[in-house]
Structure 1
């Protein structure tokens, strides 16, 4: 490839923190197959060295099926100093991404016309792994062929390529990993990691108990596995499936990951549950020290009631869309603490801690000690139609899911 030309001052003025909204394809990369050989493929290029990129965008809030569009744009072969050109290998679809498109999430993105959309738009997506296909200087901390992840939230990952400032990405060791593993390691696993480590007072020790609802979710599965590795014992609440056989199959699946006990919501909310907990935790002087809540409503209250004195309920989601009520007696007599956790705030405030946590999780994956979350891979090549991508996003919040949706990029 020819050396990179510097932009003129006038051309460079368009680049800023919003630079990550742009992107472009380049020459060699890999096809995102979970298993098998990685082979270089050719990518779309236009005349005069320009490369073609595609991005999912939206210019107003609403349901993904109504507002998401697939936008094609060209990227100049010249790009500014301290930037890296990235090709997306895999990008996950998280419920928070859908909530952001709907306009119901806790933070609102900035709409911009930077990639040439007719209206100011946003590229959604926060979790992905990219391959570096070119750099503006050999002196940067990343090189061609490296894998990187976004350093902060709001990067915009549902696109084939991206142009980013060097400081906007973190290098990860790609050895022993496939793209889907790397692309799903820093939302759900990091959330579970930080809640288990940071909120119990005193910190959880080997043999201690925690309880969680939404145990079949990505965060729940990660918490079960990390708890097993660290010697914690867990009570895990799930929604019953369509038949007793399917419910038992789910319970067995979570037990194989390391869950100590798995109960359905009906069992959890029954009068007998208190006696079940007393029997399970007998001999534990402090009782259950930590509760992790992603449901809200009655489920969150029941979690609080199971905790021992000084326990903490950490809320990181609200699937039921019902408020978390704070029982007065638990606050006064048992000093139960109610806290919230937002991964985006933690990650953006402490990028170095995010990098350490992600690398530890990836090491566990390489060693076979941490199992991938079940995924539903959505192939994205240059010919993939807008409707296929849009439907994959729309289905994220609908009913029981076979796994977490992940865009897996082929020849782009």
Structure 2
């Protein structure tokens, strides 16, 4: 079984590269460079009420409006399907769009038409969204140019489409809470999650040691091998980590000052207890749906800090700032160098959106693809 999983993981990597290259070439061959008076038919996923995505989402068509003044028309190419998108449709996400609404927090697109007063973007530029909610599950949209960020065209479409969420979250959590020097340890649970894989790769690129805790599962050796190939130094199951209270000493590692939690419950408590004095645990998710609890002793005797992080809030307060520009420059440079790769993924046409939703809602799955909606087919 482990051998089979290794073959599958290897195929993931190969297929990701092939899909990315083919998609980019296919779009480049058929994209039309628009003018101000060109009309586009918009295909979009729309919901008129909050609820079960299977029931409330419908694929509809409309006409695209002409861009005015500093507006542009974006032809979306790829959009990831994230858990937050599902929560938005369900009506349980903190940000609720006006109804009828279009889901989608991020995507990569290309400018196909511009208004008369645009200054920074032109037809043919590749862009990602810089506002929330972005409503990206559609083929075209009229957007203010200030709500977009230009992306270098040598960045893969899959990497660009998902840049504003998972890579950016990993980047900010490693940068903003603790000053880490090369050789220091970062501890995280959910090491195989999309954010977790980005943490592993960024840590490796910056000379940090990542210790990654995952749930026990079938084909565990294959998963450990996969994460190690990404740059993970240590991968342990929750049970293995709990039993090895002297793990850091045995491996000649300094105890971590930073722990990243996306699980909650017992898993969060386990990594919290491993922190050294004055350590910080940052919570950015709660996949177990269990609360984060902490014993009084970690506050009194170790002065541990518990923090939270939400990428949407960070983007809102740092929109179009030099700090934001520097972050994306760093991320794109690492993507260009092959040091920051997208997670294993599958690209499906917009018509097959229910497959993507089903995969994203399958919280019981241990491993799988991240789905992307393809608007070019």
Q: 1:55 aligns with which of 29, 44, 65?
A: 44
Aligned to 2:101: 122
Give the distance between the partners of 2:295 and 2:94, measured in 1 at CA. Answer: 25
Give the distance between the partners of 1:110 and 1:273, measured in 2 at CA. Answer: 50
Aligned to 1:393: 357
Aligned to 1:367: 337
Note the aligned Cα RMSD (angstroms).
1.9
Does the 8 Å contact 2:69/2:117 carry over to 1? no
Aligned to 2:6: none
Give the distance between the partners of 1:40 and 1:256, measured in 2 at CA. Answer: 34
Shift of 1:156: 0.5
In structure 1, the residue corresponding to 2:357 is in which secondary structure? helix
Structure 1 residue runs of 4 or more that deviate by more than 4 Å after TM superposition:
none
Aligned to 2:119: 140
Give the distance between the partners of 1:261 and 1:350, measured in 2 at CA. Answer: 34
Does the 8 Å contact 2:138/2:375 carry over to 1? no
Aligned to 2:316: 348
Is residue 209 of structure 1 aligned with residue 197 of structure 2? Answer: no
Q: Given the superposition, is the C-alpha separation of residues 106 and 42 from structure 1 closer, same or farther in structure 2, using an over 3 Å criterion?
A: closer
Larger Rg: 1
Q: Unaligned stretches of 5+ in structure 2?
A: 1-17
Give the distance between the partners of 1:59 and 1:268, measured in 2 at CA. Answer: 46
In structure 1, the residue corresponding to 2:235 is in which secondary structure? strand
Q: 2:236 aligns with which of 239, 263, 266?
A: 263
Q: Given the superposition, is the C-alpha separation of residues 33 and 89 from structure 1 closer, same or farther in structure 2, using an over 3 Å criterion?
A: farther
Give the distance between the partners of 2:332 and 2:368, measured in 1 at CA. Answer: 23
Q: Which has the higher helix share?
A: 2
Aligned to 1:221: 197
Aligned to 1:195: 173
Aligned to 1:131: 110
1:367-391: per-residue Cα shift (whole Å, max 9, x none)?
12222221111123xxx3xxx2133
Aligned to 1:7: none
Alignment of structure 1 residues 27-42 onto 2, 5 Å: 33-36=19-22, 37-38=25-26, 39-41=28-30
Q: Given the superposition, is the C-alpha separation of residues 356 and 210 from structure 1 closer, same or farther in structure 2, using an over 3 Å criterion?
A: same
Q: Given the superposition, is the C-alpha separation of residues 160 and 103 from structure 1 closer, same or farther in structure 2, using an over 3 Å criterion?
A: same
More divergent stretch after superposition (216-225 vs 353-362) = 353-362
Is residue 68 of structure 1 aligned with residue 87 of structure 2? Answer: no
State the TM-score, normalized to the length of structure 2.
Answer: 0.88
Give the distance between the partners of 1:155 and 1:232, measured in 2 at CA. Answer: 34
In structure 2, the residue corresponding to 1:391 is in which secondary structure? helix
Aligned to 1:184: 162
Alignment of structure 1 residues 222-301 onto 2, 5 Å: 222-242=198-218, 246-269=219-242, 272-282=243-253, 284=254, 287-301=255-269
Q: Given the superposition, is the C-alpha separation of residues 362 and 206 from structure 1 closer, same or farther in structure 2, using an over 3 Å criterion?
A: same
Give the distance between the partners of 2:71 and 2:19, measured in 1 at CA. Answer: 28
Give the distance between the partners of 1:349 and 1:93, measured in 2 at CA. Answer: 24
1:304-357: per-residue Cα shift (whole Å, max 9, x none)?
100000000000000011111121000111000000000000011102233321
Give the distance between the partners of 2:355 and 2:51, measured in 1 at CA. Answer: 14
In structure 1, the residue corresponding to 2:222 is in which secondary structure? helix
1:60-109: per-residue Cα shift (whole Å, max 9, x none)?
22221121111210124x33211000100110111111111112222222
1:281-306: per-residue Cα shift (whole Å, max 9, x none)?
44x3xx21000000001111111100
1:361-412: per-residue Cα shift (whole Å, max 9, x none)?
11111112222221111123xxx3xxx213311320302342211112224x
Q: Unaligned stretches of 5+ in structure 1?
A: 1-31, 112-120
Shift of 1:139: 4.5
In structure 1, the residue corresponding to 2:21 is in which secondary structure? coil
Figure out how many residues of one structure are paired with residues of the other and give that number: 350
Aligned to 2:368: 402
Alignment of structure 1 residues 11-22 onto 2, 5 Å: none
Does the 8 Å contact 1:91/1:157 carry over to 2? yes
